[in-house]
Chains A and B, each alone.
Chain A
Amino acid sequence: KAGVTQTPRYLIKTRGQQVTLSCSPISGHRSVSWYQQTPGQGLQFLFEYFSETQRNKGNFPGRFSGRQFSNSRSEMNVSTLELGDSALYLCASRSLGGGREFMNTEAFFGQGTRLTVV
């Protein structure tokens, strides 16, 4: 069974540009979450999608957006890039959709996309 796949692995962008990152979850997983990892702030939750709907969002500006397709693949977009957006962006998928059992379900992470803004 293939794991969570994130593309591309590395990106270098210039301030002011926009970027789109892609995440393909494990087959059958419908919950996809995105996280930003930086040395200063650690791992921070961006948003989660389930069945093409965003059902939770972290405390990030509106420049960060995402979507999920009917095959559960997800993309996140960052517009008007700032130097501070340089980070490792991680995607995670889970097999269940909700409830107490879901809370205990393992999140499977991709290897991440390393974004550098110059």
Chain B
Amino acid sequence: AQSVTQLGSHVSVSEGALVLLRCNYSSSVPPYLFWYVQYPNQGLQLLLKYTSAATLVKGINGFEAEFKKSETSFHLTKPSAHMSDAAEYFCAVTLSGNTGKLIFGQGTTLQVKP
């Protein structure tokens, strides 16, 4: 079973519309969850990460994600899309405390239409 699954390889929204990118994780993995963004020809940049301190996590550029254990989900949202949000987004999880290995979802490409 996949450790993390992103539903929808491509999402298209209009500028100003709500952005919702879905990520579900396997209930067998510890909930050390991250969202990363990748702009064309760039590396990955952390948007936000889940800590047990709060289920609603705020990140950079107006993004936030809600950890829902009952649904094993960690969906990424932004109330109002901007053209500069067009990029590829990855949900990821760390499985073990003794390795730096990150398991990534398949990625979701966000297109923002004017």
A positions within 8 Å CB-CB of B: 4, 6, 31-33, 35, 42-43, 45, 48, 50, 55-56, 58, 90, 92, 94, 98-100, 102-104, 106-112, 114
Residues of chain A within 8 A (CB-CB) of B97 are: 98-100, 102-103
Q: Which B residues between 44 and 61 are near A, CB-CB below 8 angstroms? A: 44-46, 49, 51
Write the nearest CB–CB distance from B4 to chain A, whole angstroms.
11
Extra contacts besides A42-B104, A43-B104, A48-B101 (19): CB < 8 Å: A4-B43, A6-B43, A31-B100, A33-B100, A42-B107, A43-B102, A45-B101, A45-B103, A55-B98, A56-B100, A90-B44, A98-B98, A99-B98, A100-B97, A103-B32, A104-B51, A106-B49, A108-B46, A112-B43
Taken together as a complex, chains A and B put the C-alpha atoms of A106 and B99 apart, in Å, by 13
Q: Roughly how many angstroms separate A110 CA and B45 CA in the complex, as a whole number?
A: 9
A-B residue pairs in contact (CB < 8 Å), sample of 7 = A42-B106, A43-B102, A45-B103, A48-B100, A58-B101, A106-B46, A112-B43
Q: Which residues of A have CB within 8 Å of B72?
A: none
From A56, A90, A98, B101 is in contact (CB under 8 Å) with: A56
Contact of B32 among A43, A104, A114 (CB under 8 A): A104
Which residues in B have their C-beta under 8 angstroms from that of A35?
102
Complex alpha-carbon distance, A106 and B49, angstroms: 8
Q: What residue in chain B is nearest A104 (Cβ atoms)? A: B32
Q: For residue B92, give the distance in angstroms from its CB to the closest CB of chain A.
A: 8
Total residues of chain B contacting the partner, CB 8 A = 26
Contacts between the two chains (Cβ within 8 Å), count: 72
B107 touches A43 (CB 8 A): yes
User: Which residues on A sit within 8 Å (CB–CB) of B100?
Assistant: 31-33, 48, 50, 56, 92, 94, 102, 107
The answer to whether A43 and B90 have CB atoms under 8 Å apart is yes
Contacts of A50 in B (CB 8 A): 100
**CB <8 Å contact, A55 and B99:** yes
Contact check, B43 vs A90: say whether CB atoms are below 8 A apart. Answer: yes
Contact with A along B21-36 (1 / 0, CB 8 A): 0000000001010101
